[in-house]
Amino acid sequence: MSMTRTSPLMRRVREAVLVGVTALALAGCVRLDSSTELGSDDTFSQHTVIAFAPDLADQLRTQLGSDAGSALSSRLGALADGVSLDSFDPAQLYDELSASSQLQTLAADHPGQVDLKPYDDGQLVGVDLTLTDLPLDVYDQAASAAGGALGISGSIVHEDGRYVVTIPADDARDPSALGLTPANLALVGNAVDVSVRFTFPGLVTEAPAGTAEGRTVTLGIADLLNPAEIRIVASDSHQIYWTPILTWGGIVLAAIVIVGGATLLVLQDVRARRRSRLPVPDASHESRIGTLPDEPGASSPAGPEPPPTA
C-alpha cells in the first residue's frame, strides 16, 4: 500500500518545512511530531502536531535575503518555486486544512474518529490532528492529511504475523543536495523539533534507522533527511517489553534487600539498648548511679519499717 499524492496544501507545508530546516537560524521555529500506533486488528491511531513560529515568513524572508540565503536559494532550485512567503501564515494552517476535501471526506467516512484542532503553545501555532482506530487501509489518505508535511512517501503492510513499515529511497531527501554537511545536519537536529514514531503491538525486530526501544521506533530529522530506504519490521502479536520491567524489578528487589537489612540492624540496635546494665533504682525511686552500695551516703535499699514499740 503506497501513499496518495500529496495535496497542494501539504506540498506548501513540506516546502516551508524544508526551507526552514535548511535555514539554521530558525532554531525552535518548526515542530512536527507524529505518533502512529498500530493495532493487531488492522487499525491505527495517530496524533500529529504541525506548528511554526507565527513570524516564520518574516524570518525566512530575512534569512533568504542575506548572502547565505541567496546561496541557499540557488541550491534549493525548483523546491522554492511557487512558495510565496507573503501568503504563508501559520495561523491560517488550521483553516486551510479543515477546509480540505480530503480531510472532510475522511471525517465523514469515520465520524467521531477524526479530531482537528488549532495548536498554540504560546510560541508556535499550527494544527493538532488526532485519528482514532481507523482501518489500516485508509492510512494512505490519513497520512497525506497529517504526517505528509515532510513529503515522505511510504507504506504499511500487515502480513505473515508482522507489520512492515517502508519509506522508500528518495534522492529528494538527500541533505547534500541542499548543501548540508553532516555537521550542518547535526545542527539542524538541534534547530527543529521533528519526531516521527511508530508503535506496534509486538516487539520491533528490524529498524536500521531511528531509535528502537521495545515496541516503538522513533525517527528524527537526521533519519528522515536520508535518501536511503527505511524499513521497520515488528511483530503483530501483543508482547511485553520485559527489559524495563526486569531492570526496575531488580532495582526494587535490591532496594528491598537493602532497606530490609538496614531495618534489621536498627531493630537489633534497639533491642541491645533496651538490655541496660545500669543499677536498678531503689524503692524510693532515687537514682544510685555513681555510688557503690557500701559507700557513705549511699542509700540502702529500703526495707520494711520496724513495728512500733510499746
Least confident of 35-39, 104-108, 266-270: 266-270
Indicate if 229 and 267 belong to the same structural domain: no
Residue 113 has pLDDT above 70, yes or no: yes
Query: What does DSSP assign to residue 275?
Result: S
pLDDT in the model for residue 149? 45
Residue 298 covered by a domain:
no
Indicate if 138 and 258 belong to the same structural domain: no
CB-based burial label for 114 (10 Å; 0-12, 13-18, 19+): buried
Q: CA-CA distance, 95 to 51, in Å (whole number)?
A: 13
pLDDT in the model for residue 248? 52
Strand order in the sheet with 155-159: 155-159, 162-167, 230-235, 204-206
Indicate if 31 and 120 belong to the same structural domain: yes
Number of domains in the chain: 2
Residue 185 covered by a domain:
yes
pLDDT by residue (tens digit) across 52-92? Answer: 888 876 766 665 555 444 544 554 444 444 455 566 678 88
pLDDT by residue (tens digit) across 254-286? Answer: 555 555 555 556 666 666 666 655 555 555 555
Indicate if 218 and 251 belong to the same structural domain: no
Residue 107 covered by a domain:
yes
Residue 281 covered by a domain:
no
Three-state DSSP at 289 gives: coil
**Structure-model confidence comparison of residues 69 and 29, the more confident one:** 29
Mean of pLDDT values over 88-98:
81
Q: Note down the domain range covering 206.
A: 8-239
Indicate if 120 and 263 belong to the same structural domain: no
Which alpha helices (H) appear in 23-66, and where do they start and end? 56-65
Indicate if 106 and 160 belong to the same structural domain: yes
pLDDT by residue (tens digit) across 187-235? Answer: 666 667 888 899 999 999 999 989 999 899 998 877 887 778 889 999 9
Residue 252 covered by a domain:
yes
**Structure-model confidence comparison of residues 102 and 307, the more confident one:** 102
Residue 284 covered by a domain:
no
Q: Confirm if 37 and 196 have CB atoms less than 8 A apart.
A: no
Indicate if 109 and 219 belong to the same structural domain: yes
Residue 293 covered by a domain:
no
Residue 214 covered by a domain:
yes
Indicate if 149 and 253 belong to the same structural domain: no
Indicate if 194 and 257 belong to the same structural domain: no
pLDDT in the model for residue 151? 47
Indicate if 267 and 208 belong to the same structural domain: no
Question: Nearest Cα to 124, choosing from 36, 47, 193?
Answer: 193
Indicate if 97 and 151 belong to the same structural domain: yes
Indicate if 72 and 202 belong to the same structural domain: yes
